[in-house]
Amino acid sequence: MQTVFDLTTKTGDIVTRLPETSTILKQYKIDFCCGGNRPIGEVIVEKNLNGADVLDQLNNALLKSLEKPIITLEEMTNGELIDHIISTHHDYLNELLPELSRFTTKVLRVHGSHSPELAKIHKLFHTLKTELEQHTIDEEMNVFPLIKAYDENPTSELMNKLSVKIEELESEHEGAGDLLRQLREVTSDYKAPEWACMTYQLTFQKLEGLESDLFEHIHLENNILFPRVIKQLKEAN
Ligand SMILES: [Fe+2]
Ligand SMILES: [Fe+2]
């Protein structure tokens, strides 16, 4: 198990090793989800960051965590990981998406005439909402039960179904990542204007919270759960 992060450590591996580091990476806008395969040193150079500062913060968090025994996500079984994803991230989306739909609609109605970006935000958010709802339903109703069934009874029929579905989900994650990038751009990094009312400010805060949670959520699926299942499928082949 890794006890120190260096410039060659991949960003996705850092968050896999210690999920709490996602807060630090987000602070520096370092992508660990769709770009999780890149060494952190590369991103540090690209973003012109102070590499020593970033690594110090990450390694301090790691040191602290070593003082207390924790069950890492890597140690969970597929079934435990799936239950964790549903209870932490899918449940969160089920609460937040309808709420944000009301918020983005309300601020558009009240302030849309003098803030044209609110119409774009409303549209982007609702596209993302629809995609995420269909995506999480597909995971819960089809893909996750397939993974659990394959764990119990690894047949080649299940194997074929699973490899197709995992590819589909990964490409949908890319789509969500793209919509999040557009939302970040159109909200100027989620900075509400000086004059913004409380609902306007809250809308931006909640949208940024949605981004954070989705990064962690997609990371768990793209960098831990799916590679693990793909490895199982390859070994059985
Ligand atoms: Fe999910
Ligand atoms: Fe997903």
Instruction: Please state the domain extents for the chain.
Output: 11-67, 76-236
Give the Å distance between the CA of 123 and the centre of ligand 2: 21
Q: Looking at the predicted structure, is the pLDDT value of residue 209 above 70?
A: yes
Compare 14 and 172 and report the one with higher pLDDT: 172
CA distance 76 to 66: 18
Q: Looking at the predicted structure, is the pLDDT value of residue 3 above 80?
A: no
Q: Per-residue confidence at 69, pLDDT binned at 50, 70, 90? A: low
Give the global pTM.
Answer: 0.77
Give the Å distance between the CA of 110 and the centre of ligand 2: 34
Residue in 212, 221, 144 with CA at minimum distance from that of residue 183: 212
pLDDT of residue 115: 94
Residues whose CB falls within 8 Å of the CB of residue 111, separated by 6 or more in sequence, listed in order: 118, 197, 200
Q: Per-residue confidence at 16, pLDDT binned at 50, 70, 90? A: confident
Backbone angles phi, psi at 10, to 5 degrees: -75, 145
Q: Looking at the predicted structure, is the pLDDT value of residue 1 above 70?
A: no
pLDDT of residue 2: 66
Q: What is the mean pLDDT of the segment spanning 101-114?
A: 96
Nearest ligand atom owner, CA of 131: 2
